[in-house]
Amino acid sequence: MMNTWEDFVSDLTKIELLCTIKDEAIKEWGLDMPKSLIFSKFGKGIVEKLDDLSPNERDYVFGAIENGMQAKNEQLKTLVATSLLESLYMRASSDDMLWDRICKQLGKQSKQYLLDWCTWSQ
């Protein structure tokens, strides 16, 4: 079970593509970058590289996101919701077919958060 944002990043970066995203962010911003930035980059990267992930990798990534949304750690949940999921949505929502594919991968709490956020932000 993930307890911290560091656990989440460690779990997510078991997928090579996401490890590369993290490494590029560190190269650009340094190790002391805002946590929200790396989570936002994960969201954008997942959308941009969705087709480069195998079905098993996609299941793993979206499972990790859902686990992050179910974590007891409020900081982790906030980072997953407001940085990763919102950035994922902003990058994908303009393409209905892509967004539909991503929606099918999202877990219950992730979908509900985005539904609530979209309703609130309109």
Q: What is the pLDDT of residue 122?
A: 64
Whole-number percent of the chain with pLDDT over 90: 93
DSSP 16-52: HHHHHHHHHHHHHH-TT--HHHHHHHHHHHHHHTGGG
Residues 6+ apart with CB under 8 A from 55: none
Torsions phi, psi for 13 (to 5 deg) = -85, 10
pLDDT digit string (tens) for 19-34? 999 999 999 999 999 9
53 phi and psi, to 5 degrees? Answer: -90, 135
The whole domain housing 73 covers 5-121
pLDDT at residue 120, as a whole number: 82
Reported as a single tens digit per residue, the pLDDT across 33-74 is 999 999 999 999 999 999 999 999 999 999 999 999 999 999
**What's the structural domain count of the chain?**
1
**Cα(94)–Cα(90) distance, integer angstroms:** 8
For the cut 60, the answer to whether the pLDDT of residue 1 exceeds it is no
How far apart are the C-alpha atoms of 33 and 29, rounded to whole Å? Answer: 6
